[in-house]
Amino acid sequence: MKPRIIARLDIKNDHVIKGIHLEGLRKVGAPKELAKKYYDMGVDEILFIDPVASLYQRNSLFQTLKEASEEVFIPLTIGGGLRSVEDVSRALDSGADKISINTAALKNPNLISETARIYGSQCVVISIEAKKNPSMPCGYEAYNENGRNKTQKDVLEWTREVQALGAGEVLLTSIDQEGTKKGFDLDLCKLVNQGTSLPVLASGGCGKQEHLDQLTKHCSISGVVLASALHYELFEIISEHRS
């Protein structure tokens, strides 16, 4: 079975933005318009992320999500600044099917188990921003605050920990490859995919069809998260799930 195609919209100040290595962000469009465009294109899910929400202690995407959910009828995930079960409740009330957390999960792992207990594991996506670090047991360190802060957490150990806490999915972003359009970090994807039973969503580096083909050839990944490939129309993307 081919992986789900997931559109990623990083949103700041009501604009979809894109950068390289999670830095140097530039505007690429309006959230509602791009969400509808990618929905019409046939993507399977859409991910709305405020990349600096935790840094500024905010959660500002609820209205954006609510507006998009009126025209987009596929699973929607929201992430950025969700720090409590109350935030999760508000996100779901605004039209989200799932929530994605990173910084809050690292600061308060109980948020994972509490959210899973109340809303079910299928609702909980743990975002893991990974960067190569030879000093870590698995060779990769987890970061937070949109790739700004080291956590001293081994990526594979953290993945197994969130699984035990009740997470339902992992959004795995390679900081090294993110925005480069040079291909996925296949070693990272295989490492996490084989080291856990959680569905893994691979993000970071896709710039052409061959990159998707390489990923699916070497790794039975659950979903592929695309941003630049969609924003800049680098190749034609049609999901077999909805075509």
- Half-sphere exposure (Cβ direction) of 127: Cα atoms closer than 13 Å: 31
Is 129 designated active site? yes
Helix ranges restricted to H, the chain: 31-41, 62-69, 85-93, 103-107, 110-119, 155-165, 186-195, 209-218, 228-231
Catalytic residue (choose from 10, 87, 141, 178) = 10
Q: Within 13 A of 119's CA, how many CA atoms are on the CB side? A: 23
Residue labelled with tokens 């993307």: 237
Main-chain dihedrals φ then ψ at residue 23, nearest 5 degrees: -130, 175
d(CA 239, CA 98): 20
* Active-site residue (options: 44, 45, 87, 129): 129
For residue 1, give Cα distances in angstroms to 110, 200, 204, 216: 33, 14, 21, 10
Question: Any catalytic annotation for residue 71?
Answer: no
Phi, psi of 9 (to 5 degrees): -115, 105
How far from 151 is each of 38, 145, 224, CA to CA, in Å? 34, 10, 25
Tell me the catalytic residues: 10, 129
